[in-house]
Amino acid sequence: MITVAALGTSAITRRTIAAARGVDGLRFTTVASRDAARAASLASELGLDASTLDAVLADPRIEAVYVATPNAVHAGQIRAALDAGKHVLVEKPAVETASDWDEACQRASVRGIVLLENMRIDRDPVLARIAELLPTLGPIRRVAVGLSQRSSRYDDVLAGRPVNIFDPALGGGALADIGVYVAHLVTQLFGTPTRVSACLVPIATGADGAGAALASYPGLVAELSWSKVSSGGEGGIIEGEDGTLRFDHVTELRTLTVEYRDGRRLDERPEKEPDNITYSLRRFASLAASGELATSGGAPAASDQARTRATLALIERIRRAAEEEGPTES
């Protein structure tokens, strides 16, 4: 049984701890936060212990940490946890740059410790099924994937109240919070684009509230969009010369349909766990319990880490492209 402490008290922490109850070999025991009162409140609610980061890292009974703090502090907390000999599961986006991720992965590999990102769509069976169906579509020419979900915290921004997820100093913004899912899905299915153009929509805090990117591949163009200040599209379409595949949601991934040029049609709702966080938790528990990393230089996690790196690299390219284009006019 791998014992885990959660760093952070946000809604995703609650959701991840709840999902972990259905994962064999993984048990959350502790909640830690910079705010002792918030840690105590959540720990009491969930029947766990409350603690601090330093105490967690010094506690030999805790074998792993789940990092769900503001994005800007992930890299430092990952480093501290790995140096303390703890396995690390880190909330998306894992860190702010691909080079930060390279450094963290190297540190984990040298120590024979598991480091994975909690990207809940990464091992989702619906995404796996989409990948399986791609060759049946013929040459793929156009992809459009979007996720627009107005944040309930945006009203706080409009009222001038501080909000972590919209604070650029804490690594907040729509691209980091939900655009990362769109970027991950596109890179997992189609790899690294040859060219990227992009535009970000700034809000009062200085963070991006929405954005869009155009990723070009040989013979294929992918349109990516995201927003936390408006609501709209949540799924995607993949258009091939022989068929068109649609899926209903980027993060929840419930249903897919395929319409082929010859008149055939598929409608599928693959069986899956109620919460797709379960899949990344199972992967983390399996690797942490196996002991393989201590003798293989981190190889079992290498493919997972490479997918995280590809997503981070695309996000960096989107930011650079948007800087070159300049901000949108309000």
What CATH code is carried by the domain that includes residue 76?
A: 3.40.50.720
Q: Give the CATH number of the domain where residue 191 resides.
A: 3.30.360.10
Return the pLDDT at 290.
82
Is the same domain home to 84 and 160? no
Residue 170 falls within a domain, yes or no? Answer: yes
- Counting the structural domains of the chain, the total is 2
Is the same domain home to 288 and 155? no
Is the same domain home to 80 and 149? no
Is the same domain home to 104 and 178? no
Is the same domain home to 142 and 258? yes
Return the pLDDT at 301.
82
> Which pTM was predicted?
0.94
Residue 319 falls within a domain, yes or no? Answer: no
Is the same domain home to 267 and 281? no
Residue 32 falls within a domain, yes or no? Answer: yes
Last residue of a domain, one of 271, 287, 316: 271
Return the pLDDT at 295.
42
Residue 64 falls within a domain, yes or no? Answer: yes
Residue 104 falls within a domain, yes or no? Answer: yes
Return the pLDDT at 62.
98
Return the pLDDT at 281.
98
Return the pLDDT at 233.
85
| Sequential pLDDT tens for the chain (330 residues) | 999 999 999 999 999 999 999 999 999 999 999 999 999 999 999 999 999 999 999 999 999 999 999 999 999 999 999 999 999 999 999 999 999 999 999 999 999 999 999 999 999 999 999 999 999 999 999 999 999 999 999 999 999 999 999 999 999 999 999 999 999 999 999 999 999 999 999 999 999 999 999 999 999 999 999 999 999 989 999 999 999 999 999 999 999 999 999 999 999 999 999 999 999 999 999 999 986 554 444 456 899 999 999 999 999 999 999 999 776 665
The conformational region for residue 126 under phi > 0 = left, psi -120 to 50 = alpha, else beta, is: alpha
Supply the range of the domain harboring residue 83. Answer: 2-121+276-296
Is the same domain home to 27 and 141? no
Return the pLDDT at 328.
63
Is the same domain home to 111 and 132? no
Residue 314 falls within a domain, yes or no? Answer: no
Which tokens hold the place of 137?
Answer: 């579509």
Residue 311 falls within a domain, yes or no? Answer: no
Alpha-carbon distance of 320 to 313, in angstroms, equals 11
